[in-house]
Homo-oligomer: A and B are copies of this chain.
Amino acid sequence: MTATFYQNKDSFLVAADCIIMGFHENELNILVSRRQIEPLKGGWSLMGGFVNAPESIDEAAERIFGEFTGIKDIFMEQVGAYGEINRDLGERVISIAYYALVNIDEFDTSLAEKYDARWVRLTQLPELVFDHNKMVKDTIGILQRKAAVKPIGFNLLGDQFTLPTLQSLYESIYQESIDKRNFRKKLMTMDILEKLDEKDKSSSKKGAFYYKFNKEKYDQLIQQGLHFSL
């Protein structure tokens, strides 16, 4: 028999909403879907669901994320809790937002069909239901602050990528253009990339060399107390 310590207290539905970001065609994209249930059924929405009793809120977010993407083991962090009384037009729901950075190539497109989900460019984000636009905005803020200091951007790319791609990723995060010489200089100073022999010739005739992120070296540098700023 479980003791009930806290009596006569109100309880609440708790949801987890996922801001799922990918990088595609040189732009940040966000996964949105047509809402499956009333109210606002059919409206553009983030991927969300209710927290179940036997799971932590982090676990709920991971479960929901997996249901919509088919991806597991992903970079995911909390954005914050959203608790305005009427934020959800259905009932009182407190929502915890999480953002995830995914390599869009691993994304299971069959699930996208099932949930009527699609990737939209961040720059062309439609009006979303409830306070979901605010969640996205808050996420971008976190991303900008965090990407400056930690190499989280690599989560959005595959194992190998070209410098022009990496640069447009950062331009997309900061929403401003960067001088390519300065960008490359800074990266080379950091010494956390490994140049490969192969070239990507898909976007130019000359071709751009592939690089890969050297996590070992990065961890090593961090351990030495070095700081980054990208």
Chain A interface (Cβ < 8 Å from any Cβ of B): 2-6, 9-14, 37-39, 50-58, 60, 78, 80-81, 83-85, 90-94, 96, 145
Given contacts A58-B83, A84-B56, A96-B81, contact A90 B5 (CB under 8 A): yes
Contacts of A84 in B (CB 8 A): 56, 58
| Cα(A92)–Cα(B51), bound, Å | 12
B83 and A80 form a contact (CB under 8 A): no
Contact pick for A51, options B2, B10, B38, B56, CB 8 Å:
B10
Residue of B nearest to A58 (CB): B83
Partner of A57, one of B3, B52, B54, B94: B94
Min distance, Cβ A109 to any Cβ of chain B, angstroms: 29
Residues on the B chain within 8 Å of A81, using CB: 57, 78, 80-81, 96
Known: A83-B51, A83-B58, A145-B145. A93 touches B6 (CB 8 A): yes
- A51:B12 contact, CB within 8 angstroms: yes
Besides the contacts A12-B13, A57-B94, what 6 more A-B pairs have beta carbons closer than 8 Å? A6-B37, A10-B52, A12-B12, A12-B14, A14-B83, A58-B83
Minimum CB–CB distance from A149 to chain B (whole Å) comes to: 9
Complex Cα spacing A57 to B56, Å: 19
- Docked CA distance A58–B85 (Å): 10
Min CB distance A140 to B, Å, is 16
Check B6–A50 contact: CB distance below 8 A.
Answer: yes
How far is A131 from B187 in the complex, measured between Cα atoms in Å? 38
Q: Which of A2, A57, A58 has the most CB of B within 10 A?
A: A57
Report how far A78 CA is from B3 CA in the complex, Å.
Answer: 31
Closest 7 CB pairs of A and B: A57-B83, A5-B90, A11-B11, A81-B81, A10-B53, A9-B50, A81-B96
Min C-beta distance of A95 to chain B, whole Å: 9
